[in-house]
Amino acid sequence: MAALRYAGLDDTDSEDELPLGWEQRTTKDGWVYYANHTEEKTQWEHPKTGKRKRIAGDLPYGWEQETDENGQVYFVDHINKRTTYLDPRLAFTVDDNPTKPTNRQRYDGSTTAMEILQGRDFTGKVVVVTGANSGIGFETAKSFALHGAHVILACRNMSRANEAVSLILGEWHKAKVEAMTLDLAQLRSVQHFAQAFKAKNVSLHVLVCNAAAFALPWSLTKDGLETTFQVNHLGHFYLVQLLQDVLCRSAPARVVVVSSESHRFTDINDSSGKLDFSRLSPSKNDYWAMLAYNRSKLCNILFSNELHRRLSPRGVTSNAVHPGNMMYSSIHRNWWVYTLLFTLARPFTKSMMM
């Protein structure tokens, strides 16, 4: 094949030779896909063998990966001073044969964040992820960044946030990723974050409300509210309100609220069926950490549903998601009993990447 010879690779396997009008390409994260120029479509499976492949190993010495103005990946051979859209590592691909999903369910409990975005190009998109310095927030931010998005890690601890930025840049040095201060336990900090973000004069296509507190001892924030309620719900509620105009201007845009199945095990109404505000920010005598967490997650669900009802006509969708039993997460770090329980359950649960 001419393209392979141009890249310095000779194809000797006739089974893998592509039909006329087909081209082999790769994504930023190393997955191989096939472009049918005749029908103007792409697919993951090889048109002859039906196999999926991914790249193995690093680029050869002197080669560098770049992205053109259309978001297409291409490769520069600095030694021979030439460029090609063909990955020079294609001679060293390995087969990937995942279990084919059913028509009813495309993803399952073993699907990773990178697989969710596989083949998607987010070049030019702006994504904000709260609590992105660790856990599933970090994996989400990394996946978006490695797929071309400009990602902002909105975190309370800037030292850890900058470490997370360095880890992402270590995987792809051209990733557009930065950290900004956001402490959801302080409404003034939420306001300052929104002001600083708006000062950048950029769009906002995806806002992932991920940060959360779990199993905290009772305490009040500087705003006089119970901490779990403010961090898990009210801080995010306020953040979305402050950035609502940017989201609408950036439509189509999306808000993703990370909730939990634990929202099913509580209620925020009193015995007469009316909303009981004292349950949202309880006193110390009425506080139970697990119940406070469950109620905050129920608030997430209700908020996301109402947000979608109000903003979807303006091009902003909202979804609340249960990430699964993320036992590898550090969310349980506030009490040693939960840490022990989660450690024992770790072999039977999902990892942060899934």
pLDDT of residue 224: 96
Q: How far is CA 182 from the centre of its chain?
A: 18
Q: What percent of the chain has pLDDT over 90?
A: 45
Tokens at 75, concatenated: 């490769």
Band the pLDDT of 53: cuts 50, 70, 90: confident
Active site residue 293: yes
CA nearest neighbour of 1 among 84, 113, 105: 84
pLDDT given for residue 13 in this prediction? 47
pLDDT of 281:
87
Mean pLDDT of all residues in 122-151: 95
Q: Which residue has the higher pLDDT, 265 or 214?
A: 214
305-347 per-position pLDDT tens digit: 999 999 999 999 999 998 876 545 555 455 555 555 555 555 5
68-119 confidence digits (pLDDT tens): 777 677 888 888 888 887 788 876 666 665 544 444 556 666 677 777 787 7
The domains of the chain are located at 22-90, 115-266+277-345
What sign does the CA torsion over 78, 81, 86, 91 have? negative
Is residue 219 packed enough to be buried (19+ CB in 10 Å), middle (13-18) or exposed (0-12)?
exposed
Cβ 116 vs Cβ 107: under 8 Å? yes
The pLDDT value given to residue 301 = 94
Q: Does residue 291 surpass a pLDDT of 70? A: yes
Concatenate the DSSP letters of all residues of 49-86 into one string.
T--EEE--SPPPTTEEEEE-TTS-EEEEETTTTEEESS
* Distance of alpha carbon 306 from alpha carbon 308, whole angstroms: 5
Contact at 8 Å (CB) between 330 and 266? no
Instruction: Identify the CA nearest to 189 among candidates 238, 233, 151, 229.
Output: 238
Number of H helices, E strands in the chain: 10, 14
CATH class for the domain made up of 115-266+277-345? alpha beta
Encode pLDDT of 251-266 as tens digits.
999 999 999 876 565 7
pLDDT surpasses 70 at 354: no
Q: How far apart are CA 119 and CA 122, in angstroms?
A: 10
Residue among 6, 293, 328, 338 flagged as catalytic = 293
- Per-residue pLDDT band for 267 (boundaries 50, 70, 90) equals confident
Residue 219 — φ and ψ, nearest 5°? -160, 160
pLDDT of residue 108: 63
Task: Compute the distance between CA of residue 75 and CA of residue 30 in angstroms, rounded to an integer.
Answer: 13
Q: Please tell me whether residue 258 adopts helix, strand or coil conformation.
A: strand
| pLDDT (0 to 100) of residue 257 | 97
Distance (Å, rounded) from C-alpha 227 to C-alpha 216? 8
Structure confidence by residue, pLDDT tens digits, 167-196: 999 989 999 999 999 999 999 999 999 999
15 versus 9: the higher-pLDDT residue is 15
The whole-angstrom separation of Cα 309 and Cα 298 is 17
Is pLDDT above 50 for 128? yes
β strands within the chain, DSSP E: 22-26, 32-36, 41-43, 52-54, 63-67, 73-77, 82-84, 94-96, 126-130, 150-155, 176-181, 206-209, 253-258, 316-321
Per the CB < 8 A criterion, the answer to whether 113 and 93 are in contact is: no
**CATH number of 22-90, picked from 3.40.50.300, 3.40.50.2000, 2.20.70.10, 3.40.50.10420:** 2.20.70.10
Burial class (CB in 10 A: 0-12, 13-18, 19+), 40: exposed
Least confidently predicted of 121-135, 212-226, 321-335: 321-335
Q: What value does the CA radius of gyration of the chain take, rounded to a whole number of Å?
A: 23
Task: Give percent of the chain above pLDDT 70.
Answer: 79
Q: Is the pLDDT score of 8 beyond 80?
A: no
